[in-house]
Amino acid sequence: MTLSINNMAMPLVRDMIDRQDELGVAVMEQENGATCIDCGVHVPGGYRAGSLFVETCLAGLAETAITPGRVGSVPVPFLHISVNHPALACLGSQKAGWVLKVGGYSAMASGPARALALKPKATYRTIGYRDRSKIGIIALEADTLPGEEVTGYIAGECGIDPRNLYVLVAPTRSLVGSIQISARVITATLHKLEEKGYDVLRIRHAAGRSPIAPVKRTGIDAMGATNDCNIYYGSVSLVAEGYDPVFATLPSETSPDYGRPFARVLEGAGYDFLKVDSLLAFSPAEVTINDSGSGEVYHFGRLNTDVLLESFGID
């Protein structure tokens, strides 16, 4: 494939830089030349900033829209996504597949620069892709901005000059953080398929929607509410080349940990992620599969209003 996902994402990054005041983000150039875009650490961000963050993470291969909707009788904003080249956009770019630890700094890293560093290599072997752009764009889920030691390390792993590195940062407990986790609803589904050994290149088209969680005070509360949006109310539609029984295992209700807000599941496990079903957070509430060969349509899973409203703190 000749597409360069870093090059395709760059116009979105330039848009954020040019419109930083309007979008509620802040742009800083470090001494090593790396550009850091704060989308929620020291700034408010906003809905459009969140959409651009998401579209950047998906390498310009997706379109998003934020619309009003309801969870039960409660008005809630929803994020809608349609994706081209789903395996490349979702697994090759948006997946938070790089656990970044440099000195005392840690973050979950996603975005097209992963394809330069091959994080993780197994994913890029699966989808048969590597980008060789001189530009790298990475998105960090973190509560603090990275220093030069961190950006220098990222640039080194990507094989690029730090002056060509662009780093987007949003905490989970921010509006942009809420939007970008809801935007993972399709990626989570493809990741689950990847983990189960399904050939993700057979997924030809993908669309989805998920509520946007309210901004929470603590990281744990935010992690719970944002993941619950996808687990209990996220909807995914896939066009696949042929039916596979694995599709029936995709909804979150197939997990033994289903039925409680994610924050409570974590609490019950003593905040030990190894004791939680690892695929619960990588499951949408419902999936519709259109087999493009036979024309058949299959639906699995259901929306769960009660658990999501409990997670939001709404009686």
Confidence of residue 1 (pLDDT cuts 50, 70, 90): low
| Alpha-carbon gap, residue 92 to 124, rounded angstroms | 7
Residue 315 has a pLDDT of 77
pLDDT at 201: 98
Residues 138, 167 contacting (CB under 8 angstroms)? yes
Tell me the average pLDDT across 103-114: 97
Q: What percent of the chain has pLDDT over 90?
A: 93
Domains and CATH numbers, the chain: 5-312 (3.30.1030.10)
pLDDT tens digits, 197-222: 999 999 999 999 999 999 999 989 99
Across 123-133, average pLDDT: 97
- What is the predicted pLDDT for the residue at 169? 98
Question: Could you give the 3-state DSSP secondary structure of residue 168?
Answer: strand
pLDDT tens digit string along 156-194? Answer: 999 999 999 999 999 999 999 999 999 999 999 999 999
- The pLDDT tens digits of the residues spanning 4-20 come to 999 999 999 999 999 99
Residue-wise pLDDT for 233-247, tens only, equals 999 999 999 999 999
Distance CA 206, CA 90 (A): 10
Angle (CA) 16 22 26, round 5°: 55
Q: In what order do the strands lie in the sheet with 98-102?
A: 26-29, 35-38, 165-170, 136-141, 105-110, 98-102
Q: Are the C-beta atoms of residues 145 and 36 closer than 8 Å to each other? A: yes
- Quick: pLDDT tens for 75-91: 999 999 999 999 999 99
